[in-house]
Structure 1
């Protein structure tokens, strides 16, 4: 008769030999398929997280299940289809995060006993599958790496929540470390600046200004103590100093608002409209809060906001790619990981 605790899961089979150190890169998540059923599963998991939507009461459950999950998956699936990696049949976020993991593993290949894997907070591969795989490889120490430069409870904290939930079910837990937010890390700011300068050098026009667009958040979350807005401001100010720009040439905005509550302002889409109506004709947009290009950068910024800008009189618009798995981007990830692995390798 088993005497295991009710919530305890079977320990992954561990390979024999010397213990290893695991590194798990984690990004937000993605549907498995670019159709309504796939998006519905993803949105259900995402919007059922109390870190994302804090009030999970009866009213929200009615709105989520009775309204949002009935209509939104169809429209969002169309957006995903615009950016989908059809060759691999997956979202660009999954393609890029896998590549980041592969390149980090190659960069650490001369470090003994380090195993690198990747996961998504929502969708697949899950954090549980990533931790199980690392344990199966003999890792008794794991570094979780939330790929969010700016901390927020709805991103960084929920990664930790899920990691802790997975570990709570294990009898033999690995030792855990988590990388801190890197919103003003010198390597990160330098990589952003280099990526911006490199991209601008390829354009056939000179932008009159640059807009730094971060993912939005309900203002009430910040009012309750979330440091996210403060981190976004710090990133933008550091980037301005590095590029030699003032606030009139490098603007800070927030995108992707959802629902009727007030979110952090200024809003990116409203700023696009205002700038065009005020006579700005050439702009570039950078998205420093995203470690990899995804729906919010490739569709919302590069397509939707570009159209808003042009519709209101703008002429030339360029979306600057995220750091992704570029050399500067991988330098940032490697720097963070090696710093936090000190004493383990």
Structure 2
């Protein structure tokens, strides 16, 4: 019992560090898997009067209804309110991404309707290490390598991950004696995350998962520092002219700060830009040539001029 209390206290500290108001009511996203069931047990022991639980049925597997019923039963035993959220997932190439978008949209609506300040998910250190490796393989920049954020906005609420410093094995030890479910897609080799999970399992003992997760946390702090620097530069170096043209004074700035300023300005002008397109535009500007991004024309100089591109003939 002492060990259980120690874990509950550790969870309380981790959770409070993510909440601006330590008395806030929060929602738990619980699928019935071991990790989310561990989240449910820890929260129920730590703050039973401030939580509600939701399970999302994506309509993709027949077993989902049974899994949701398992969560509902566990919540009833713990005297925690439970809601079943049913969503429709668009059948697109990346069905996992579509399911994730539908899931978070439903959770946001549910949390707002219930007066909850945040949604807590059960992402942990092993998830973080998997995400870091996946994004390294895709050539992600600093923002991507920061991995899963401990706290991020989700429309009108916040998503928090109080278990990001916890190992999967620790969480599963908490639920060894209660029913849980295992989504078969978690081990489906067709999915990138499943393949990376298998790779990390093979490297167990030679790779420190906790330190990999810590690296992602350090990168997240660096990302926040850069975002702060860009915000200061935007205030002092960007001018919007009466005719709608924008001048960005980038003289002496590190390339990454210039790139981020342009990314912000192009996005604010309602023109979509991906990383490769932005990098190509920046190279042209550095070479003294104009660049076109969407409906915008960028002209080089000490102050980069951003304006609407002339109509194409």
TM-score normalized with structure 2 length: 0.28
- In proportion to residue count, which structure has more helix? 2
Larger Rg over CA atoms? 2
TM-score normalized with structure 1 length: 0.26
Higher relative contact order (CA 8 A, sep 6+): 1
